Chain A
């Protein structure tokens, strides 16, 4: 289980991006974190994956534990070896490497060769489209295909917790639906998922629990179905019951949920 308690994070000692966040991702569960641009979603994920330092950010106070052990002070590679793998915002596939090489790169964090081989078979079975394009330069894939590759690459290290930062960003609604289905399948195979989204329709459809993040604080949390029924989430994130993705207002609009 991933447990975040009273987490405060700042960048360069000045910008306070997170102000006392607490959340949990139970083993085998799917948790969604919603919030507008700048709410602190990526910062939360960077803290868990230990890449904050690359952005000149640092934990001010609070704890992040995984199975009861602190994740603070680890480097990113070590976090991967403990079973937490993140698909970063904007996919960040290695465009000059082939599809297969991208998966091999994902396998570098696997514990051993056997895990890696099994994961590769599993990924190609899950995404036949990638198997057909093994030798292709990954940069030539479409946006949706790149997202699938980014997810497949992350699965290569056989994570117990898969973290996704806005996987639906920039994708056509139909492809967003496919991403949602892929996340369900991955979770059905036993992997816990922490899903960060602005697209609440997909996220609330997949997650059991959800948190709404607003300028560095949790403004709402609870079972995803209950949250989806809330007037404010309806209006701000779901566009009055419409099933398509909607543009999300900035975090500031949500501040009245505070307190």
Chain B
């Protein structure tokens, strides 16, 4: 039972981080109708900036600057495509993001070299005993920060002008344009939000017990992609549900050491969960669109 609760709490923490990343996929998809395959690299970019600044500036400042750089990076990707490619086929856009992903991750890999950089977070390897479960302090903070960010996001999405413009534009772009919605601004904001969420996720993805950040975090981050899909790629709530589902599934299978075909099941569990969900609900748990053609 204690094991179970431990795995559950850790799964929620991991799932929350996945939710932040998955939300980035969803927000970008809603704004631009494109799956941003460069999202994982942008996360590494934000994390790299934070780790490089660690020690030189206060941690909070490093995180804010990391968020800024990731946001600017995301907006640049968006500008690049809307500058020339806005009217092209969605698949062409997705391939463009793959190209940017490869360029960015290659450069970041070169910069990291063989090093794993600490993010300089103040929580170190402290562990908190909650009575029912033990959890790394960094992960506990992660749950709190994630909760605050998600609430802030959903309030903005529901009530702010940006949120209304986003939802209106996602439903009917032409009608939104006829209402005076400035598509470009709304879209840039969406990409920037995705960048910020990714940079924050980088901090918690690389906190204890992970030793720090290097370019391989991109692969971990991309595990949030099946989370976004299984929640429904056009559903913000689905991103959170999907993120938690995959985080918990991963923590459980990893914790109990479930093995499959000679490997650890937790490595493939995000994709397994996604496949099962899509077989039952092709548009994802909360999505409205069938994603079989994306």
Contacts and interface: CB of A to CB of B under 8 A. Distances in A.
Contact of A109 (B172, B174, B179): B179
A96 B174 contact: no
Contacts of A182: none
Contacts of B168: 94, 97, 101-102, 105, 108
A223 B224 CA distance: 64
A199 interface: no
Nearest to A79: B180
Interface stretch (A28-36, A81-89, A241-249): A81-89
Given A77-B182, A92-B172, A105 B165 contact: yes
Nearest to A87: B178
Contacts of B161: 104, 108
B154 to A, nearest CB: 14
Nearest to B186: A108
Contacts of A95: 171
Contact of B167 (A85, A94, A154, A156): A94
Interface string B176-197: 1111111100000000000000
Interface residues of A, number: 30
Interface residues of B, number: 19
A49 B164 CA distance: 21
Residue among B165, B168, B173 with the highest chain A CB neighbour number at 10 A? B168
B181 A77 contact: yes
B175 interface: yes
B174 A108 contact: no
B177 A54 contact: yes
A154 B176 CA distance: 11
Contact of A108 (B87, B164, B172): B164
A109 B181 contact: yes
A80 B180 contact: yes
A157 B179 contact: yes
B176 A51 contact: no
A76 interface: yes
Given A92-B172, A96-B167, A96-B171, A106 B179 contact: yes
Residue among B164, B171, B180 with the highest chain A CB neighbour number at 10 A? B180
Residue among A49, A93, A97, A108 with the highest chain B CB neighbour number at 10 A? A108
Contacts of A92: 172, 174-175, 178
A56 B168 CA distance: 22
Given A77-B183, A92-B172, A95-B171, A104 B177 contact: no
A153 interface: yes
Contact of A105 (B87, B164, B182): B164
